[in-house]
Structure 1
Amino acid sequence: MSKMLLYFVLFPTLIAAQIKGRVIDEHGDPIAYVNIFPESGNDGFSAEADGTFSIPNHKPDEKFTFSAVGFKTITLQGIDVNEVVMWDETVKLREIVVGKAKRKRSKQIDKFGTSGIRVYINQTAGKVFNPDEKSEYPFLTEVTFNSKSEISGAKVNIRIMSVNENGEPDLDLVAKNIIASVPKGDRKTTVNIAEFNIEIPQNGIFVAIEPLKIKENLYTTVVVYESISGDKKTREVSVQQPYFGFLPSDENNTWYLTSKWSKRSRHKVDDSGSLSNVMMRKYHDKFLESTISITISN
């Protein structure tokens, strides 16, 4: 009887365990903030600044996709990820049109307000910008986005990508991570990227914000809950920060990243007609649009 009990206790650890490893380049140097996506379709994980990572509660034979700006995307089984080597792909990055920006005049595209935001998601999302004004304001100079964070200085990564002929995100236009920190609270953050002198391509430009799922972005709090017996108990809960704001839209123009870029169907609100959901009613049967705007200049 004791042998059978021991078997059932140990069995879960054999099929779901913590997977630890490190991501390096072909020279043995660590790669920071690599995206790691399980084949199960979960939102994924991030490597730390030193390339190390920890993936909880996953099967050793599950496949994981590793992607990072400037490196070839690879897929490996969990048993093979103790040391992941990624190879440089900067030679394949789409050529950036570099010119001399005057920056005497500028215009903000897709400007948004924050008072009506009710949906926040901790996932990589972005959208395509192809403004009619790009002939007059051809350079991308700033990216602005909304976030909600319980900690100050949570780190995010900004992705700037080309757009293919089908209007889909294509290749990274900047061969490095653009790391930004967001303030505590429900706030806008504006990041100046004028140093890269990016001229908007003919098909437009794709801008995405990635939440880095790293240790320093964790917010830990104590929650009180009621046990089955009715007793009140407490436990610590850690939640990744920040969350990004989304507004309701009639257009499906936001892309989400799991192991690949994809769009989502219309958002549904349960019992949208009830009084308790009056603030969420405007989201019902709408698409979620990421609160990202850009500033372009001459």
Structure 2
Amino acid sequence: MYMTTCCRFLFPFVFLFSPLLMLAQTTIRGQVQIDSTHQPVSYALISEPQHRFGTYADAQGRFSAPIPEGIDTLLISCVGFENLLLPLAGLSDSTAVYRLRAKPNVLTEIVVRGRKPKVVAVGAIRKRAPIVWGNCSGRNIEFALHVRNTKGIRGYLHRVSYLIARGGVATAPFRVRVYANADGEPGEDRLPQSVVTAARRGNTWCEVDLSRYQIEFPKEGLFIAMEWLPTNEDRYKFATSFKMPDGQKNVRECFGQYLAFNRELRTATYWERINGGTWRRNAPLSRVGMGEHPVIQAKIALE
């Protein structure tokens, strides 16, 4: 299974960063809340400006983040909110509240029609999962597929769908991301707020309605992404084993669902990033990047 090969190639990458994780000196605990309402911010990312580590808050905004040595500033972020930078000096290891200020939520005027819109599907259409990808690195992983507008379609993003494969914990939550095309790579967020969803089961499409946001499907296309949300919740964790290059067996803890990959789109380009950091094209440390791409599609409502 591809998960085995994937983990084998990812291991040097994880090992490369392991000294940073092993030198953790303290743990910061707290809850992330909305500044104006004091309601929890679900699945906020606790990191630092260089994105060298990352921990997610849970659905209630609670988190426990081991801080590696050499980190002097925390960065708390979530889609739809202003980033919060906190000097580590002076923060205690006792539970505290951290509040994020919501960005202005400006939505395009919605045109209400008396009939269902005509939609066309673009991106990866086939329900085939010869290859799967799971999060066994212990880090925030995000994959973005460039959904091209090759036929000059004029319309708005109606729905997006992700092919969640068998295995893992298919019902784990993940975040839907939509980005503008900035010279061939993911650019600005096009969703004004966090959209978190989960599949009902594996080996099926997980479809999300985004019609209320009226996101234009431009001639340069969009990047549709899936962001894993690896919290500390045990119910979404599982163990998998694989062989190292020397033949020894290695067991790793993984989180969440498997996302399907295939080779349907011959000219597909997709990007990867970790801990909300810099985007990299086609995951050079794995077999992914040899023609495979995530199975993600979009349905466009025609004008």
TM-score by length of 2: 0.68
Cα gap change, 1:75/1:202 in structure 2, threshold over 3 Å: closer, same or farther? farther
Structure-to-structure mapping, 1:158-237, within 5 angstroms? 158-164=176-182, 166-216=183-233, 218-220=235-237
- Residue 24 of structure 1 contacts residue 30 of structure 1 at CA under 8 Å; is this kept in 2? yes
The answer for the alignment partner of 2:298 in structure 1 is 294
| Residue 99 of structure 2 corresponds to residue 85 of structure 1 | yes
State the SS of the aligned residue for 2:126.
coil
The answer for the alignment partner of 1:71 in structure 2 is 81
Q: Which has the higher contact order (CA 8 A, sep 6+)?
A: 2
- Residue 153 of structure 1 contacts residue 183 of structure 1 at CA under 8 Å; is this kept in 2? yes
Amino acid at match of 1:295: K
Kindly state the Cα deviation for residue 36 of structure 1 after the two structures are TM-superposed: 2.7
Q: CA RMSD in A?
A: 3.6
Cα gap change, 1:157/1:268 in structure 2, threshold over 3 Å: closer, same or farther? closer
Q: Which has the larger radius of gyration?
A: 1
Match of 2:65 among 48, 52, 55: 55
| 1:30-49 C-alpha deviation (Å, 9 max, x unpaired) | 21111233567557322112
Cα gap change, 1:152/1:127 in structure 2, threshold over 3 Å: closer, same or farther? closer
Kindly state the Cα deviation for residue 134 of structure 1 after the two structures are TM-superposed: 5.0
Instruction: Identify unmatched segments of 5+ residues in structure 2.
Output: 1-20, 136-140, 242-250
Cα gap change, 1:181/1:210 in structure 2, threshold over 3 Å: closer, same or farther? same
| 1:212-248 C-alpha deviation (Å, 9 max, x unpaired) | 2234574455889xxxxxxxxxx9x853202323335
- Identity percentage of aligned residues: 18
Instruction: Identify unmatched segments of 5+ residues in structure 1.
Output: 1-11, 225-234, 270-282
Cα gap change, 1:252/1:262 in structure 2, threshold over 3 Å: closer, same or farther? farther
- Residue 271 of structure 2 contacts residue 280 of structure 2 at CA under 8 Å; is this kept in 1? yes
Amino acid at match of 1:142: R
What CA distance in whole angstroms lies between the structure 1 residues aligned with 2:199 and 2:88? 32
The answer for the alignment partner of 2:245 in structure 1 is none
State the SS of the aligned residue for 1:30.
coil
| Residue 137 of structure 2 corresponds to residue 124 of structure 1 | no
Cα gap change, 1:293/1:173 in structure 2, threshold over 3 Å: closer, same or farther? same
Amino acid at match of 1:156: F
The answer for the alignment partner of 1:34 in structure 2 is 44
- Residue 16 of structure 1 contacts residue 60 of structure 1 at CA under 8 Å; is this kept in 2? no
Aligned length: 259
State the SS of the aligned residue for 1:154.
coil
Amino acid at match of 1:85: R
Cα gap change, 1:38/1:186 in structure 2, threshold over 3 Å: closer, same or farther? farther
- Residue 156 of structure 1 contacts residue 182 of structure 1 at CA under 8 Å; is this kept in 2? no
State the SS of the aligned residue for 2:82.
coil
- Residue 265 of structure 1 contacts residue 287 of structure 1 at CA under 8 Å; is this kept in 2? no
| 1:80-137 C-alpha deviation (Å, 9 max, x unpaired) | 484433222226x6x647445654422111234354532403322112334144544x
TM-score by length of 1: 0.69
